[in-house]
Structure 1
Amino acid sequence: MTVHGLFAKTSPTEMSSRGKPHIAIVGRGFSGVMMAIALMKSVRAAFHVHLFDPQPTISGGQVLAAAQSGEILNSRVRDLSVAAGQPEDFNDWLSANAEFRAAVPAAIPGFQQIFVPKSIFSDYVYQRFSEALTRRPDISMQLSCQAVLGLRKQANGRFLVVQENATVECDAVVLATGFGLRRGEMEVADEEKPLVRARRLVVPRHTVLLGSGVRVVDRLLQLRDNGFAGEVTILSRHGFLPQPHTRLSAAPTFPVEPMPTRLGEIVRFVRQACAEAEEAGLGWQAAMNGLRRRARSLWQALPEEEKHRFNRHLRSIYDSHRNRLPAPLYLRLRQELASERTVLRKGWAGRRRPEGLMVRFAGESQETLLSADQVIDCRCSAPDLQAPLMQSLFSGGLAEPDELDLGIAVSPAGEVLAGGAPTRDLYAIGPLGVGSLPDIDLVPEIVTQTYAAARLIATRNRVTLKTG
């Protein structure tokens, strides 16, 4: 979505003269856009929103960016509503879309259990954003395409958002920067590039995909759909690929007895719960869905040492079972692996070389060259705690890393914590809080968190909540 038109009514001069509460949202991916929607739908009084992001477009972030028509979201329609208290909103939007109804007639009268392309969900989110903005002529909105380099708390209690050539004063700040996604083909370092290259088109015969999540499967299937017939190697540190969703909805189920408190006992407890769900004909997915409802309290009760053990040894297994593939895509993945055109190998990626990729395979102590014509990085990276913005938060005592250094410490409502207490009027939405809140990188959890943060922002800035 381009900036022009959407923000045409914004005037910084008008904004400053009106004296509205000024709310900064740093990041315009899904978390940032969703935060703006939650504010516009929840807060009754007028306010000004300043959206910061180096990109000149609203990209959709990890969830929506670069969505190709073949990429399918790994959550069902029932879990993707952006409207608080209206779980059928996305289904209703799809039902009102004549073109979509014609393409998916078997799902009529409802689409709750199906999986849709990311591009469809993107259209839905942007339309709801535009509708919310259109209904609020009292709200002014401003876009800044400079990176935010720092954040300072002033003596008057307001924040100063620091950019390279400007500073902006705000009453509340929402960090929605998500986490970085390595994207595209890995390039050879300049010093290793051949001095002379033949001017000819090289058709790749062997492609290496880095990663093990849903994105690596998306890229594999896109390569095949686009006619690539060569060999593919999926290189993963732990070797766990996404598991399948059930074909029909797996209603959450989980034992009601108290959970153990030690990690090893918890693993055995969860395995037993999955086995019982399988025996009952519900599928292990139903037990994992039930576990997610208890994951947050379970995580917070774990000692720090146990959290580190989970992160080292179990997180990749857990992620492969929570970030699942629609059954048809999982079947295609299994067929790819069975055909031996695609292989999965465990190892650590090193530097890109003209003739391939340096890799340290599992069980080996030294790197070896994996020959490849192209290397595509599909991995997610953790939030960059060394970035200037993060470092300014830490040095100013406004935030602190979580126990695992995966992101920053936050409360369930997105309040940024420092010294165990919330920093007033400072929030972090979505994946920045993944070390504090399990599953906060998923759409339903982000949506819930944005509305909780919007309620707190309304209360603390003496503006009123909308009641209908």
Structure 2
Amino acid sequence: MTVHGFASYPYGGQPAQIAIVGRGFSGLMMAIALLKSVSQPFQLRMFDPQPIISGGQALATARSTEILNSRARDLSVSTGEPKDFTRWLQANAHFREAVSAAIPGFGQIFVPKATFSDYVYQRFSEALAQRTDVSVQMSNEGISRIQRSDNGMFTLRLADGSEAVCDTVVLATGYGLKAPPPETNEHDGAGALPGSSGNAQHVVVMGNGLRAVDQVLQLRDGGFAGRITILSRRGFLPQPHTRMPADAVFPSQPMPSQLRHIVRFVRNACAEAEENGWSWQAAMNGLRKRARTLWASLPPSEKRQFNRHLRAIYDSHRNRLPADVHARLERELAGGLTQLKRGTTLRHVPGGLVVRWAGGSAEEQFAADKVIDCRCLSPDLKDPVIAELLSAGLATTDELGLGLAVNPAGELLTPRGRPAGLFAIGPLGLGSLPDIDLVPEIVTQAYAAATLVNAQLRPQLQAG
């Protein structure tokens, strides 16, 4: 499907060919950045086996009641215009009528995921409409192979056997090239929606992050009145946002170099923020601004130690819930029908799971009528396309093997340098860039990548 037709090309010759693999939030954000940043005409092809354009895994299946965990002020897709999303909200009469006039500014509110998805797609459509020298083609074919020729061009082999030749390729697939597994397992009723429960009396929700909390509340909103067990290895549920905005506050002095001293430094920073009338959330917001430099400075051994012992705690404090949603979760847990249990899932079995409970070594069968897997994902490095890029030397993993090694602009790094024109945007680079799974960081990275693409394409334009 071609979304936009071409006008005449002012420079003559053939336009640049750019491919984005993935049409979730990272893919759409990259498209917006390219449309706003690349000065010459180009053809953009967006590949995704999913038949619809969506906001990605976190947004595509969102119900109107699901709330994003970032304030509206942090969700602009326009670089240099941090209030773009809040202005868009204010111009939305239906949404404006639904929001209490007592709220001190639209920038402080938390909005439904579906609302943000509408905003992203509208900004994409508007950016495209302003570029009469650009065409965008949506392809529902999956990608089976990416190769780079000696002249620097990339060839994409599609699932139907056809090929596409491109100057630039952007991987924007979230956590991998394959669609995420269905939210339900073999014990569910066929076709059951994530928020429904069929005839189940006991539902196990695997995971302890935002998706797990969303799922629990969806079950209750859908009328489920049975038992729910949140099954998590570490047991750290998301912490709350403050009701009023928490600006970034953090000590300005240099951070320690060893992990145990860093942990003590952060704890003291949170305590100091509380003593001075701020909040620990403000200190964590300040830490996030230094997280990337801090992560890069740690040796691999301490990065592994952080992932083993501190990652779950850090994630529960950085991925926070709106205060009202957190209060509802606390009421749910206090009511007794929803419990949090610590344990490691070993395998699925008919009628439930085999679990090793925290502090024990024995395996035990845990009965459940329905199991919903909401555990945090990691980049799928075993996908054949990714694996071939790694074996061909076009990409390498980060030093811990958590994802693909990238620089801040998303360029894939290799042991021999970086291949011009090949990028990975968003969560594929989580092992290199902390918080690259969050909206503000993805927006910044997409514009940085688009700026590089523009610079790399200019010599071709001059040569033509």
Distance 1:172 1:185 in 2: 37
The question of 1:117 aligning with 2:112 is answered yes
2:265 alignment counterpart: 269
1:373 is aligned with what amino acid? D
Distance 1:321 1:136 in 2: 41
Contact between 1:48 and 1:141, CA under 8 Å: does it hold in 2? yes
User: Aligned residue pairs: how many?
Assistant: 446
Distance 1:436 1:457 in 2: 21
Distance 1:443 1:132 in 2: 19
1:27 alignment counterpart: 22
1:355 alignment counterpart: 351
Contact between 1:182 and 1:378, CA under 8 Å: does it hold in 2? no
Distance 1:342 1:430 in 2: 33
2:371 is aligned with what amino acid? V
2:277 alignment counterpart: 281
1:156 is aligned with what amino acid? N
Contact between 1:401 and 1:407, CA under 8 Å: does it hold in 2? yes
SS, match of residue 215 in structure 1: helix
Q: How does 1:233-272 map to 2 (within 5 A)?
A: 233-272=229-268
Identity %: 59
1:61 alignment counterpart: 56
1:432 is aligned with what amino acid? L
Q: How does 1:266-415 map to 2 (within 5 A)?
A: 266-415=262-411
Contact between 1:182 and 1:380, CA under 8 Å: does it hold in 2? no
2:46 alignment counterpart: 51
2:415 alignment counterpart: 419
Please report how far the alpha carbon of residue 330 of structure 1 lies from its aligned counterpart in structure 2 after TM superposition.
Answer: 0.5
TM-score (norm 1): 0.92
Distance 1:342 1:109 in 2: 34
Please report how far the alpha carbon of residue 70 of structure 1 lies from its aligned counterpart in structure 2 after TM superposition.
Answer: 1.0
TM-aligned CA distance change 1:139 to 1:202, over 3 Å: closer
Contact between 1:113 and 1:249, CA under 8 Å: does it hold in 2? yes
Distance 2:367 2:45 in 1: 48
1:198 alignment counterpart: none
Give CA-to-partner distance per residue, 1:17-68, whole Å, 9 cap, x none: 9611101101111000000000001122210101111111112212311010
The question of 1:38 aligning with 2:56 is answered no
The question of 1:146 aligning with 2:141 is answered yes
Distance 1:62 1:411 in 2: 24
Contact between 2:395 and 2:412, CA under 8 Å: does it hold in 1? yes
Distance 2:101 2:307 in 1: 42
Over 3 Å off, 4+ runs: 7-11, 107-110, 180-183
> Where does the alignment leave 5 or more consecutive residues of structure 1 unmatched?
190-200
Please report how far the alpha carbon of residue 108 of structure 1 lies from its aligned counterpart in structure 2 after TM superposition.
Answer: 6.4
Give CA-to-partner distance per residue, 1:392-420, whole Å, 9 cap, x none: 11111110001111110000011110016
Please report how far the alpha carbon of residue 281 of structure 1 lies from its aligned counterpart in structure 2 after TM superposition.
Answer: 1.8
Distance 2:137 2:386 in 1: 23
1:186 alignment counterpart: 185
Contact between 2:273 and 2:283, CA under 8 Å: does it hold in 1? yes
1:132 alignment counterpart: 127
Aligned to 1:102, which of 97, 101, 113?
97
Contact between 1:95 and 1:110, CA under 8 Å: does it hold in 2? no
The question of 1:90 aligning with 2:85 is answered yes
TM-aligned CA distance change 1:314 to 1:461, over 3 Å: same
Distance 2:451 2:358 in 1: 48
SS, match of residue 437 in structure 1: coil
> Where does the alignment leave 5 or more consecutive residues of structure 2 unmatched?
189-196
Contact between 1:45 and 1:463, CA under 8 Å: does it hold in 2? no
